[in-house]
Amino acid sequence: MPGPPFLEPDGCAVDWPDSQCGDKNGRVIETPPNWTCIDCGYILHTGTDIEADTDSDFQPGEKDGTDGEGEDDEATDGSPITALDIDDTPEEAMVRDTQKQLRELIEQIEEGSGDTDVYTSFFINHFDNIISFYMLFTKYGPYPTTVSVKKEKILKTACAYMMMEIKLVRFNLLGIVTGYKETSLISAALRFIRTYKGDDYQQGAYLIEVYAPSLNIQENFIKPMQETWLDIIHPRGEIRARVTAFIGAFLRVSEVKITQLALEQATGVARSTISPKLKQYENILRKHFNR
């Protein structure tokens, strides 16, 4: 009969939720002196000399000077005994499990249909940085957050890192091959970025810079756009829709042609959402520039 959990609530060593944690659900194996989670291989507890069986007649003999050379070479060649090194700290165990799950995600994406190279190559080339960025949002980092499925959190933090590093803002194909909605990936990525950037983060101004490459906006437009964004009163609405409509309105008022279709393709915001906000922003900007 399994005993009580060794870990505190939400204390899974590899950041799995309690509903999936082997320790919380009795999936623990006892191989004295260790108690080990069956699901992830993490050693939850090591018994003391008092707890362990002390009836053995074995007593270590004197060293023969060979220092064990030639004995049990397979067990001493440096290969890990389990998926998780038995010497891992809980934080190291979480890192190792996160690496494993990110590799599985990369394999899943590679096996999906369509041109997914932009995602797989980025995840491979920035593997360690994505892991480090993910760890910022665990109990071992400054911004602990929880989601029901760890692999989902890894994917969404990877999207956030990709958005920051290469200004990629569309994840439609990535969503298809992984089973998540693009809007969910983008919204979560923006939340992670907002948390990471801190109190001084101006989300709208930042998104203008992020969206600029996909809309082929000239660099000399970006700063005036950002300054204007910070200087006007905005209509209500979801931030992506407002920024997309604002960019379109700013370009039109500046006599630069831009279609709603181009705005939709670049940002993923539907034309039906863009259209009414576009008109609102055109009126706001004309009044702003003519004051």
Structure confidence at residue 41 (pLDDT): 66
Structure confidence at residue 142 (pLDDT): 96
Structure confidence at residue 10 (pLDDT): 67
Domains present along the chain, CATH in parentheses: 1-50 (no CATH), 90-197 (no CATH), 203-290 (1.10.472)
Sign of CA dihedral 50, 52, 58, 61: negative
Closest CA to 202 of 171, 227, 224: 227
Residue labelled with tokens 């008022």: 253
Structure confidence at residue 74 (pLDDT): 33
| 44 neighbors 36 (Cβ within 8 angstroms) | yes
Q: Which residues lie closer than 8 Å to 186 by C-beta, 6 or more apart?
A: 159, 169, 171, 240, 268
210-226 as b/e, with b when 16 or more CB fall inside 10 Å? bbbebbebeeebbeebb
Structure confidence at residue 2 (pLDDT): 55
Report how far apart, in Å, the C-alpha atoms of 238 and of each of 41, 69, 225, 250, 265 are.
43, 67, 19, 18, 18
Structure confidence at residue 54 (pLDDT): 41
Distance CA 282, CA 246 (A): 8
- pLDDT per residue, tens digit, the chain (291 aa), is 456 777 777 667 667 777 778 777 877 766 666 767 766 767 777 765 334 344 433 344 444 444 433 333 333 344 444 444 457 899 999 999 999 999 999 999 999 888 899 999 999 999 999 999 999 999 999 999 887 789 999 999 999 999 999 999 999 999 999 999 999 999 999 999 999 999 778 999 999 999 999 999 989 999 999 999 999 999 999 999 999 999 999 999 999 999 999 999 999 999 999 999 999 999 999 999 986
Structure confidence at residue 63 (pLDDT): 41
